[in-house]
Amino acid sequence: MNTTLIQKVYDDIALNVFQSYKIVRDGELFDLAEIEIYLINPYKGIDDTYIHAHKEQNKYRHIYFHYSGIDICFGDNKEVYCGVLVRGILNDINHIYGPGRVAYKHPKIRRDIKLINVPSDTQLIFSEQVKDNINLKNVIFKLPRVNLSAERMYNSIQTNIDKASLFLNLKARYLRIKDEKFYTPKSNAPDEHKEIFNKYIEYLIQRKSAI
């Protein structure tokens, strides 16, 4: 398994999803702010340890509600399973982080969520590729996924330690932040502040070196 090639497949999916799709939640239009990708694609030799491979994830352009939140599914109705977990959404007025908050009212009552294909005029870029003073909202930070199943981690290590390491550390979480105070309010902020700040520092260093 070539980690670089697998990472590129995930990156391409993420960029396409961010650039091509929006969410209508209870009648309000949102951009995607945070996603995690889970994938089985035998044509590319990818068998992600952490995908549930539910039949819903085999569908194409499909919203799949599950216990954690919603996936946007980009399967091929054949061999490919692809679940894009929506962890955050934003627009000019609101930002919502947390897959459960995106998908459900309290208690677990589903939001009215629709996926629309609206190609964006805004050019998004991965943080490690920044070469000028781009608007922070247009930067995508890549991080390892969070809250993965501990049981799956353990079982995968027993089965294939190389594969376990690859998919545990793969940067398959993609995040956009509203501004430098992304961690406020605490009740509505993306998880793992330390990891995000590390990526933000790398971004600042990258931007400074590019000037």
| Residue whose C-alpha is closest to residue 10's, from 200, 210, 167 | 167
Phi, psi of 177 (to 5 degrees): -120, 150
Domain 3-121+142-190 listed as CATH 3.40.50: no
Per DSSP (E only), the strands in 26-129 are 28-41, 46-47, 60-65, 70-74, 81-90, 95-97, 104-105, 109-110, 113-117, 125-126
Give the chain's length.
Answer: 211
pLDDT tens profile 73-97: 999 999 999 999 999 999 999 999 9
Give the chain's largest Cα–Cα span: 49
pLDDT tens profile 102-160: 999 987 899 999 999 998 888 899 999 988 778 898 999 999 999 999 999 999 999 99
Give 10's pLDDT tier (boundaries 50, 70, 90).
very high
Q: Are 178 and 95 in contact (CB under 8 A)?
A: yes
